[in-house]
Amino acid sequence: MAAERGEHRERPRDALQAEDFVYREDELILQGVAWPSAALSRFDRALLGAWQERMARGLFRYRLQELPTRVLPGAMRLLAQLNVPRATERRRPQPVRSVTEPFSSRHFNFTLIRPEELLLRMRRAPPADGELPGAEHVLVAINVSPLERGHVLLLPEPALRLPQILTPQLLRAGLEAVLLSARPGFRVGFNSLGASASVNHLHMHGFYLDHPLLVETAPAEPLSPARGLHLLLRVPAPALLFYTAGSGLAELARDACGAAGRLLALGLAYNVFVTRGAPPEGSAGPGPGAGLRLLLWPRRPRFEPEEDAAFNVALCELAGHLPLRTAEAFRELEEAEALRAIRRPLLPEPEMRRLAADLARLLEDSAAAAT
């Protein structure tokens, strides 16, 4: 997350400066994105150019070098990366005791970030007919302890002091950010409180990882096809899967946040991962597919950091991307050990299936009530 600067004095709102990035709906790239890809969209050039400029200016906690990377032998194709500085230089997570803990200005929050850490102010342009307003802006800031190249935070206006509970507005902005990128490796995600979120101030992560993941192509079982909801089992961490071919992003964001809200009501934590991906029937090839996959993992909350583990279990790890803390773990970690750690906080499959069926009914009932 962003660095703690040794002071908790809030900065005035007008100190938060970022380049305006206004985008049109026709800039969302729905077709033609495939591995390997060297293409850059206007969004990619703006984000990566500003990110690299901040790296050159020394605004991160460490200079990110090319990370040693290997695919663990096994059916899940887990991707291990050695990132020692993130483990040693990252600020300690904020202490919390509830998945719905209110925002507190006593702890580090994003009103404290330096203006130069902000890259972009993203805003959807209104339609040409001007009948509907554009989206509220979302700020794009560097993550000063980056996982990978282009690792950023997507922030609603920090002065709103929103707690770390995902909203449809922020999630839709994240979905659109994935579609604005011409790179199949740009993903976004969210960690709730109790699921490895380290700051209780609303934010999503975005980052580039130039490797395909199994969660993008594995087949899923239908739960509520009308709502785009499926159950994804043959992956490192079984998940609820929402899928869209690129339309209905507002509805997808609403449904996914409705399901996430139900999890919080049950006392469960959750992680979210958004990537380009194949339809729920799956794909035999490594390509990301033309649609979007949104994975939602319900899990038992944990509020203490796992100091001695090879890795924390957050959105990346659940998706099959393992940033590792030590060279020993990078050399010796095997798939079976990694899968045990990844799956430990998740619900047993029978409980997961019952919960998935309940969420499918909830979404269908909500859709019926809205018509």
* Cα gap 60→186, rounded to integer Å: 20
At residue 204, the pLDDT reads 98
Q: Tokens 């209110």 appear where?
A: 102
Tell me which amino acid residue 86 is.
R
At residue 29, the pLDDT reads 95
> SS3 letters for the chain?
CCCCCCCCCCCCHHHCCCEEEEECHHHCCCCCCCCCCCCCCHHHHHHHHHHHHHHHCCCCCCCCCCCCEEECCCCCCCEEEECHHHHHHCCCCCCCCCCCCCCCCCCCCHHHCCHHHEEEEEEECCCCCCCCCCCCCEEEEECCCCCCCCCEEEECCHHHCCCCCCCHHHHHHHHHHHHHCCCCCEEEEEECCCCCCCCCCCCEEEEECCCCCHHHCCCCEEEEHHHCEEEECCCCCCEEEEEECCCCHHHHHHHHHHHHHHHHHCCCEEEEEEEEECCCCCCCCCCCCCEEEEEEEEECCCCCCCCCCCCCCCHHHHHCEEEECCHHHHHHCCHHHHHHHHHCCECCHHHHHHHHHHHHHHHHHHHHHHC
At residue 333, the pLDDT reads 97
What pTM did the predictor assign?
0.93
At residue 336, the pLDDT reads 98
Handedness of CA 260, 212, 183, 242 (dihedral sign): negative
Q: Is 203 a catalytic residue?
A: yes
Q: Per-10-residue mean pLDDT for the chain, 371 residues long? A: 40 61 95 88 97 96 95 98 92 91 95 96 82 73 96 96 98 98 97 97 97 96 92 97 92 96 98 96 67 97 85 97 96 98 96 96 86 69
At residue 304, the pLDDT reads 85
**Superfamily (CATH H level) for 22-370:** ATP adenylyltransferase (3.30.428.70)
Domain spans of the chain? Answer: 22-370
User: What is the tens place of the pLDDT at every residue in 107-153?
Assistant: 999 999 999 999 999 999 987 665 555 558 999 999 999 999 999 99
Catalytic residue among 137, 203, 230, 321: 203
CA distance between the termini of the chain = 41
At residue 179, the pLDDT reads 97
User: What is the tens place of the pLDDT at every residue in 14-58?
Assistant: 445 689 999 999 999 998 898 888 899 999 999 999 999 999 999
At residue 288, the pLDDT reads 60
At residue 284, the pLDDT reads 55
At residue 130, the pLDDT reads 58
Instruction: Determine contact, residues 112/201, Cβ cutoff 8 Å.
Output: no
Judge residue 156's burial from the number of C-beta atoms within 10 Å of its C-beta, 0-12 exposed, 13-18 middle, 19 or more buried: buried
At residue 5, the pLDDT reads 37
